[in-house]
Structure 1
């Protein structure tokens, strides 16, 4: 009876964690470049009450094993890197990646990070930066007197300045791909860090080595499927209720035993 209480308790904890993940997905339904997560569970520790082949009191061999599971636990959160929808903004500073890849940026401490959100801005030093103010790598400086600038699908950043009718190239936007992008570490602000299991970052041009293409004037919306998340929320709520019922039922059975 004590086992059933403990098993149900781990079920409650697991479903609470799952609800936290779902809530975070829904909270970021309007976050550009956000990638939804899903919780992964596994069963743990089995209590073996009898083994197949053991002798019974009648000196016969038992044909099957008798095991009772003792708990469940969350073991991972997997980030789903499916493509979000492309939303047209008509803002020349917005760039979307259609396909695989990340923009390479530099954090204030000099370390590297990666981002899908291409809502770029121009800072006080005329440098191309993310909405959070992180500089693009390699650095791209837009002339202060630039009338307009364009970004081609294959990464070329060009500007038109007064007195020059022909666009002038001022930089190139490269993309970074990973052999296992689901293992990238998310640190908030739409940023990812590489870790050993994500593989070595591969800098490449758009449209090369499996990398996507760039489209100016668009942003990538969150890939959260609201309907699917709401269904998952209902399933999680029901699973939580069932485990809660298991706790109360086990408690009632214990009370009945104590009255014998």
Structure 2
């Protein structure tokens, strides 16, 4: 009975973690560039009462063993980096990546971070920055007298200046890709940071080497599927209730034993 109490308690903990992940997904359903997460779980060690293939006599073997599991444990939260829908904004500084990759931005400590949120703005120096003020890398500085800003799908940024006969190229946006997106560490603020698991970032021209293309005046919406999350939430709730029922039943059986 003690084993079943412990096993059910690990199930309760696992389902609570799953609910927490679902809640975060739903909370970010309107967050630009957000990627939904999924809980990944593993079974715990087994109590082996009888080994598979053990001798039942001198000439026969037991085909199946007797192993009793003791529960489950959360091992990771896996990000699902599927493409979110592209939503038109009409803002010339908004950009979305159609395909794989991330925008690279510079953090205050001098390190780089990566984001799918392309809702960019200008700071007081004309530099293109995120909504939180982190500069896009490589830096793009828009002249104060620029009349229009154009971003081509290959990342080339051009501006129209007064009395200029043709648009002037002021920089090129690059797209960072990783060998293992799942190894990126979430920092919050729509940012990711590379780790040993993700591998180092490779900067590419948009549309080359498997990197996505840049789409101007669009942002990428969250890839959270609300209906899917609600179904998973119901399944998780039922699993939690079943594990709670096991705890209650085991407690009743232990109480009955103490009365014997």
* TM-score where L is the length of structure 1: 0.97
Partner residue in 2 for 1:53: 54
Matched, 1:139 2:142: no
Give the SS at the match of 1:196: coil
Partner residue in 2 for 1:229: 229
1:217-254 deviations in Å (ceiling 9; x for gaps):
10000000000000000000000000000000000001
Give the SS at the match of 2:70: strand
Cα deviation for residue 55 of structure 1 reads 4.3
Cα deviation for residue 63 of structure 1 reads 3.6
Partner residue in 2 for 1:207: 207
Partner residue in 1 for 2:184: 184
Cα deviation for residue 24 of structure 1 reads 0.2
Give the SS at the match of 2:71: strand
1:189-228 deviations in Å (ceiling 9; x for gaps):
0101000111121111001000111111100000000000
Partner residue in 1 for 2:166: 166
How far apart, in 2, do the equivalents of 1:193 and 1:31 lie?
18
Give the SS at the match of 2:154: coil
Cα deviation for residue 125 of structure 1 reads 1.1
Aligned residues: 259
How far apart, in 2, do the equivalents of 1:198 and 1:257 lie?
53
Partner residue in 2 for 1:29: 29
- Structure 1 runs not aligned, ≥5 long: none
Cα deviation for residue 61 of structure 1 reads 4.9
How far apart, in 2, do the equivalents of 1:216 and 1:63 lie?
63
How far apart, in 1, do the equivalents of 2:252 and 2:149 lie?
72
Partner residue in 2 for 1:114: 114
Cα deviation for residue 161 of structure 1 reads 1.2
How far apart, in 1, do the equivalents of 2:255 and 2:248 lie?
11
Matched, 1:125 2:125: yes
Matched, 1:68 2:68: yes
The range that moved more, 237-246 or 194-203, is 194-203
4+ aligned runs moved over 3 Å, structure 1: 58-63
Partner residue in 2 for 1:94: 94
How far apart, in 2, do the equivalents of 1:63 and 1:151 lie?
66
1:131-166 deviations in Å (ceiling 9; x for gaps):
111001111110011111110000111111111141
* TM-score where L is the length of structure 2: 0.97
Cα deviation for residue 62 of structure 1 reads 3.6
Matched, 1:6 2:36: no
